[in-house]
Structure 1
């Protein structure tokens, strides 16, 4: 997929305005216990699987599209959830003499848990930085400082703070369904009844959980997944699939319905989207 990179900042350089300490991908996140916290600002997010984070005697579930920003010296513990085979993560640690001022301006002033929409630029931010493949020397460059700035701006713009453990509890309940949705994007038979049946709960309760967690209905969430996959298929240079074939692959019986839905969600037709990109 992508790889692990780490930069180690000498003490004499720790007063730079903004600096990246480490950034990387961990394909099998190990158990971490830090009773005294970590010396720098520390971000970790889930790529696949699910983790459990313990902070201030609270246990928070961390599924995909969720992350946590630990402030320096804040005690914490995290590990793979017992009901998932593997926990893949990306991480980012950073600091700098201007970091407190910047975070204050963005009203990011405490350790907090975040979630975000799958199709936002923030989803792949760390992966994109890693893939650029700068040399270790670049950690001291303007670009490395810009990475910290852009990360925090993106977190502020796209991240939604989880305000309590109730939301995390909802996510834990919904996680199996979210994974099932990803695996069944092409199944045109799936509706709210099938989703509720999968979790063995009422349609009303399922709707309530989605609204409280994502501010979306289950159907809208599933539709967004379909559109996201359609975008990837449209941009696949090695594929010659027609719009009709892509429509079927993302669960639309009718190509015209797919085209109308895609235009409503994205702002242009599938064909135009393919041409523009």
Structure 2
């Protein structure tokens, strides 16, 4: 796939984002209505889309992706803790700021950009499993870890509340999120040999098929209703998220023996 082909594929994506930006910038949507769009994507449309994508994937195909899945988990978690340690001890951030900066740097924007961008480039079916695994890792592991770091940073709360209970409640809450729970159920069912029948898949797709367009529109609206500012932390997070983390994940995937197909790109 050449650069020109990729550019043509991405034009409709940027069109929808710009459309959403104009809607937010001209106050067609406000913060509350924007939250509604985001909720539609993260709690209904994308979980339904991922459920169908995973449960229509053959069990042997899912098992064959284990090196990539491990690389994905390590690429998110290892990167988070490396950034956390560097910002905490190298740049002397306090615990709360280090946890937040690391989360923003390591958390992939899979919910809003994964299906639209990667699905357009490689096909929605091909990226359903990686995005589902990402949803489990982010919502059930990464976000709770960052939340616990922030809780520890609040000294009074940490002293007055049992930390074991805090940890258990935080991870349980993350696991209940649709972007973690639904893909996890789908993966377990697929490993047990379940394959979604046509009627079930069609039913989920009624809401799941709106994921791509609504997610892109939501990105535009979110940017449009907020005042965008450029500063060193913002550029640092963008650099880490778009350059350093993908390079790290590529190296981990290569080391794990994951097939890296580049001949068609």
Q: TM-score range by the shorter chain?
A: under 0.3
If you compute each CA radius of gyration, which structure gives the higher value, 1 or 2?
1
Relative CO higher for 1 or 2, CA cutoff 8 Å, sep ≥ 6? 2
Question: Taking structure 1 as the reference length, what is the TM-score of the superposition?
Answer: 0.23
Q: What TM-score results when the alignment is normalised by the length of structure 2?
A: 0.24
Q: Which has the higher strand share?
A: 1
